[in-house]
Amino acid sequence: MSVNMMTAHEVAKKVFNKEELFILDVRNQDAFADWKIEGENFDYLNIPYFELLDGVDEVLDKIPSKKEVLVVCAKEGSSVMVAEMLSDEGLTVSVLQGGMKAWSEHLEPVKVGDLKGGGEVYQFVRIGKGCLSYMVLSDGEAAIIDATRMIDIFIDFARSKEAKITNVFDTHLHADHISGGRKIAEQTGATYWMPSQDAQEVTFTFTALEGGQAVTIGNTAIDIHALYTPGHTIGSTSFVVDDKFLLTGDILFIDSIGRPDLAGRAEDWVGDLRESLYSRYRELSSELIVLPAHFMIIDELNEDGSVGEKLGVLFQQNHGLNIEDETEFRRLVTENLPPQPNAYHEIRETNMGIIDPEEEKQREMEIGPNRCAVR
Amino acid sequence: MDVTKVIDAKGLACPMPIVRTKKAMNDLESGQVLEVHATDKGAKSDLSAWAKSGGHELLKDTEENDVLKFWIKKG
């Protein structure tokens, strides 16, 4: 019997709208424990598909009859098999099209605000992995910040807005996901910017991002001011866009702060991280809307699915910004850190151009949650 | 290693490598060894988890030229 297919986009909408969904995840238990589809009103049952090969009897009474049911696996195949068995038993269930692979790669564009000169800022929410990318649009030009490796969505989106991509930025050398910045720049002829201090080993040409620069997008006066805020990496740079938005990269998140250990230098960089968070950001307007490069938990999503909060609010509520004692701060960011992201070393090498894995390998390297933050 | 049966699941996507392995395993006696060849990357974690849950023992696994090979002893 045929089963319904649900796209990653449809699931993302359910997350944003806080809808109910029952997820039967048939991946093996380790994979489920490590990383799953998160939704405020989602319920879960995890039974590996290989335990259901002889029949689905054991799960039938665990599946609620009143909720929409979505069967999920790594790549779709085994969830289709299980869903068909459930369907044969008379249940109506859907399958996540493309499985967790598609979920990991899905980006949902959300508008986060307008610019004074008539432009717009969009946030691209990679809901399955917690990565956030940005597009600043103004008068037929587009800038992209912290793009993921799924570059077509950015190029197509800019085209749909009739904008030419002129500048592409990375706030730092990413360790948890593969940047699409360089490839977008190659395809569109845009300028690719990255902080020179993070780029000492890179094998390609780029334009060096230094603190205090301004880049104009469009004819209207939209400036992107680079603000040097080291800590997560030595080159980590923040941008203030249009005196309204503060793009913090992986230095400051909504409910957490950046971790300084992904290049193996926690002890060296913890002081820089504190300086950036406790001195440099303090000098900025508390009205700026913080737009980070990641979110960690689904609670950080606003009503419309975007991730952002006023800097002033974060100074009051973000635990990582309220540790008076420097020793305690040092302890927080150097001890008891969460596990490092999957394949982070290879991801850094890919982003430096030192290795160039094929697409399937890149996909595998990125599997799992992002782990750039400490709370 | 004394292998009783070899199954070729190369080119097959999940869930077929496990489906084939399970079927072949049914024909073996306890203590006999099944050799499985697969190309689906997911087979590695799935086969080890499957073997464990079924009381079998994954004796060894290798990867050569993108072909994953497993030796599973029936429990």
Which CATH number is A59's domain given? 3.40.250.10
The CATH number of whichever domain residue A119 belongs to comes to 3.60.15.10
Task: Please give the pLDDT value at position A231.
Answer: 66
Task: Please give the pLDDT value at position A331.
Answer: 86
The last residue of a domain, from among A59, A85, A102: A102
Nearest residue in A to B44, CA atom: A28
Rounded CA separation A300/A131 (Å): 12
pTM of the predicted protein model: 0.89
Domain identity same for A258 and A145: yes
Three-state DSSP at A75 gives coil
Retrieve residue A357's tokens: 């894995």
CA angle A313, A315, A320 (to 5 degrees): 125
Q: Which domain holds residue A29?
A: 4-102
Domain identity same for A279 and A176: yes
Can you say how many angstroms the Cα of residue B45 is from the centroid of all Cα atoms in its chain? 11
Contacts of residue B46, defined as CB under 8 A and 6 or more positions apart, other chains included, come to A28, A48, A50, B14, B17, B18
Pair type for strands A141-145 and A164-169: parallel
Domain identity same for A233 and A90: no
The last residue of a domain, from among A73, A102, A131: A102
Domain identity same for A67 and A119: no
Domain identity same for A208 and A278: yes
Partnered with residue A290 across adjacent β-strands are: A246, A309
Q: How many domains does chain A have?
A: 2
Retrieve residue A240's tokens: 């203030």
Residues of chain A below pLDDT 70: 1, 219-223, 226, 230-231, 261-266, 370-375
Of A147, A192, A146, A202, the residue nearest A166 (C-alpha): A192
Q: Decide: A366 and A306 in contact? Cβ < 8 Å.
A: no
On whether residue A373 sits in a domain, the answer given is: no
Of A29, A53, A104, the residue nearest A342 (C-alpha): A104
On whether residue A374 sits in a domain, the answer given is: no
On whether residue A156 sits in a domain, the answer given is: yes
Half-sphere exposure of A131 (CA within 13 A, CB side): 29
Task: Please give the pLDDT value at position A271.
Answer: 83
Distance from CA of A90 to the nearest CA of B (A): 22
Q: Please report residues of B whose CB lies closer than 8 A to that of A48.
A: 46, 49-50, 53
Domain identity same for A170 and A268: yes
The last residue of a domain, from among A74, A102, A130: A102
Query: Phi, psi (5° rounding) for residue A40?
Result: -60, -35
CA angle A222, A227, A228 (to 5 degrees): 155
Task: Please give the pLDDT value at position A1.
Answer: 57
DSSP type of residue A121: E
pLDDT tens-digit readout, A193-208: 999 888 888 888 899 9
On whether residue A261 sits in a domain, the answer given is: yes
Q: Quickly tell me which residue has 């859907």 as its tokens.
A: A94
CA–CA distances in Å: residue A2 to residues A60, A87, A268: 18, 8, 57
Task: Please give the pLDDT value at position A241.
Answer: 92
On whether residue A375 sits in a domain, the answer given is: no
Domain identity same for A97 and A132: no
For A325, other C-beta atoms within 10 Å of its C-beta total 9
Domain identity same for A219 and A355: yes
Domain identity same for A226 and A123: yes
Residues in chain B: 75
Domain identity same for A87 and A179: no
On whether residue A151 sits in a domain, the answer given is: yes
On whether residue A79 sits in a domain, the answer given is: yes
Distance from CA of B1 to the nearest CA of A (A): 26
| Contact B41/A at CB under 8 A | yes
Domain identity same for A274 and A181: yes
For chain A positions 62-81, those within 8 Å of chain B (CB to CB) are 73-75, 77-78, 81
Retrieve residue B61's tokens: 């696994």
Of A10, A14, A37, A7, the residue nearest A24 (C-alpha): A37
Note whether A360 contacts B16, CB cutoff 8 Å.
no
Task: Please give the pLDDT value at position A164.
Answer: 97
Task: Please give the pLDDT value at position A372.
Answer: 64
Of A168, A164, A121, the residue nearest A144 (C-alpha): A168
- 3-state SS track over A292-348: ECECCCHHHCCCCCCCCEEHHHHHHHCHHHCCCCHHHHHHHHHCCCCCCCCCHHHHH
Contacts of residue A93, defined as CB under 8 A and 6 or more positions apart, other chains included, come to A3, A4, A24, A63, A69, A70, A71, A83, A86, A87
Task: Please give the pLDDT value at position A3.
Answer: 87
Domain identity same for A214 and A265: yes
Q: Which domain holds residue B19?
A: 5-73
Q: Which of A28, A34, A79 would best serve as a mutation to test chain B binding (most B beta carbons within 10 A)?
A: A28
Q: Decide: A134 and A302 in contact? Cβ < 8 Å.
A: no
Q: How many domains does chain B have?
A: 1
pLDDT band at B41 (very low <50, low <70, confident <90, very high): confident
Half-sphere exposure of A6 (CA within 13 A, CB side): 23
The CATH number of whichever domain residue B19 belongs to comes to 3.30.110.40
Q: Decide: A177 and A129 in contact? Cβ < 8 Å.
A: yes
